[in-house]
Amino acid sequence: MEPPYRPQPVSFSRRGGRLGERQQKAWDQLADEYVLDVPRNGPSTSVDPDYRIDPEQLFGRTAPVILEIGSGYGESLAHAAAEHPDTDFLAFEVYIPAVAQTLLHIRRDGLTNIRLAVANAPEMLSTALAPASLSELRIWFPDPWHKTRHNKRRLITPAFAELAARVLPTGGTWRVATDWADYADQIDSVLTGSTDFEGSRYERFEGRPVTRFETKGLKVDREIHDFAARRI
């Protein structure tokens, strides 16, 4: 039987890339404990719709859970986990060398409150996470897909807002940051047009450190746009 294909384009372009020696060692030592073994439903980042994440079982405790989508090399994620040891952090990232680099942060800082998944975020939000199971959702600098013909691949759309609303309880927070002006306008439109969220453009979130990626944007005079919305 042929594996199923996704009906919608994904918001990422899967890059290759070999692991460096330190990354490979970290992966070999830590992936079994910190990277979820997600069953697939076709492509390598797909998610079997029967798969479920139980945060209490995953982390071995009852605690607030924050999800970061597109965690990259883990700078913001590791910073947040170190600052908030009483909170558990999930992260979805499709670039395996970036996940391996995050494992290096975990080992360096002795972090135990992070788990990662190499998986397509909308699929995870649709089925793998229980309704209202997160306290906060964070998306820092999603791919802007800045060419007009590629705009359809942007992650943050009205349909995605419905998925975000599904996994956040009343009062839960959705935070976003982008350095791309017209994507900021789109995000603003999605948030203000949603009946599930209240809020939109916001001052810079103090819990987000300035990463290498953000620094590159600032060097070419891109304005950073922050958003925060509350689930209603």
pLDDT in tens, the chain (232 residues): 445 544 555 544 455 578 889 999 999 999 999 999 999 998 889 999 999 999 999 999 999 999 999 999 999 999 999 999 999 999 999 999 999 999 999 999 999 999 999 999 999 999 999 999 999 999 999 999 667 665 787 999 999 999 999 999 999 999 999 999 999 999 999 999 999 999 999 999 999 999 887 888 888 888 999 999 999 9
The predicted structure's pLDDT at residue 149 = 62
pLDDT of residue 9: 54
User: Where would I find the H helices in 110-157?
Assistant: 121-123
pLDDT of residue 159: 96
Nearest residue to 134 (alpha-carbon basis) of 232, 196, 65: 65
Asked: is 21-231 a CATH 3.40.50.150 domain? The reply is: yes
**DSSP per-residue letters across 205-217:** PTTS---HHHHHH
- In terms of pTM, does the model score above 0.85? yes
Candidate list 48, 143, 188, 196, residue with the active-site label: 143
d(CA 32, CA 49): 22
pLDDT of residue 6: 44
Q: For residue 125, which of 162, 72, 157, 93 has the smallest C-alpha distance?
A: 162
Using the CB atoms, write b or e for 88-126: b if 16+ within 10 Å.
Answer: bbbbbbbbbbbbbbbbbbbeeeebebbbbbbbbbbbbbe
pLDDT the model gives residue 2: 44
Active-site residue flag, 50:
no
Q: What backbone torsions phi and psi does residue 119 show, to the nearest 5 degrees?
A: -160, 155
Structure tokens at 55: 């945060």
Which residues, 6+ apart, have CB-to-CB distance to 73 below 8 Å?
98, 101, 102, 105, 211, 212
What pLDDT score does 148 carry? 66
* Cβ-Cβ contacts under 8 Å for 36 (sequence gap 6 or more): 53, 58, 115, 116, 117, 119
Beta-carbon contacts of 1 under 8 Å, excluding residues fewer than 6 positions away, are none
Residue length of the chain: 232
Q: What is the CA radius of gyration of the chain?
A: 17
